[in-house]
Amino acid sequence: MLAGLFLLAAAIPALAQETPEDKQADKAVMEMEKNAATPEGQERVANKIKTQFGVDDARVQAMKDSGLSNGEIQITLALAQGMPGGINDENVQKLTALRQGPPKAGWGKIAKDLGLKVGPAISKAKKAAAELRKEEAKAKREKAMKEAKERKGGKNMKGDRPEKPTKMDRPEKGGGKK
């Protein structure tokens, strides 16, 4: 019983180490992962990361192979931009090593240790996730419109309503005063 109390007491500081910045970063990472739930989404996320940070497929794939998720890649590259030398192998490896541990460090602690601010990195990740959500919604709408058009087989979108009959010609009114 006493051992259980010691374990609980040891676990409390570990739980308390998560800062508000870490919680926001985790939320941004989760948003990015939601966007990458489908193969099309994964492609959109990878393209967004490449265009946002000007990196190539090889760098993104190497970061994925090292165990980072799409959201973690986003934050890692955003932090690396703020480091001397920008996004290069050394900075990316340093950030990856700090993140993966041991001990595994939170984004707030990593940024603080390197003299960086994590807020802008989180903002970039949130902004990218929001843009990806909009792109996904647009793609879904376009796909639904295309499928609806294909189902109708090229018919007009109003359905199978008959055309409006034309007005009948009326005889001239006569019998009026001239």
Regions in the chain scoring below 70 on pLDDT: 1-17, 153-162, 174-178
The residue count for the chain: 178
Q: What is the pLDDT of residue 11?
A: 41
Q: What is the pLDDT of residue 15?
A: 44
147 by DSSP, 3-state: which?
helix
Residue 38's nearest CA partner among 109, 114, 118, 140 is: 140
Ramachandran category for residue 176: left, alpha or beta (phi over 0 → left; psi -120 to 50 → alpha): beta
Q: What is the pLDDT of residue 158?
A: 56
Vertex 110: Cα angle to 119 and 75 (nearest 5): 50
Q: What is the pLDDT of residue 28?
A: 80
Q: How far apart are CA 32 and CA 128, in angstroms?
A: 8
Q: What is the pLDDT of residue 3?
A: 40
Q: What is the pLDDT of residue 2?
A: 41
Question: Which residues 6+ apart lie within 8 Å of 35 measured at CB?
Answer: 41, 44, 45, 70, 129, 132, 133, 136
Answer whether 118's CB lies under 8 Å from 107's CB: yes
Q: What is the pLDDT of residue 176?
A: 57
Q: What is the pLDDT of residues 121-162, one digit of tens each?
A: 888 888 888 888 888 888 889 988 988 888 876 555 555 666
Distances (CA, A) of 22 to 15, 19, 29, 107, 133: 12, 5, 10, 6, 22
Q: What is the pLDDT of residue 177?
A: 60
pTM, full prediction: 0.66
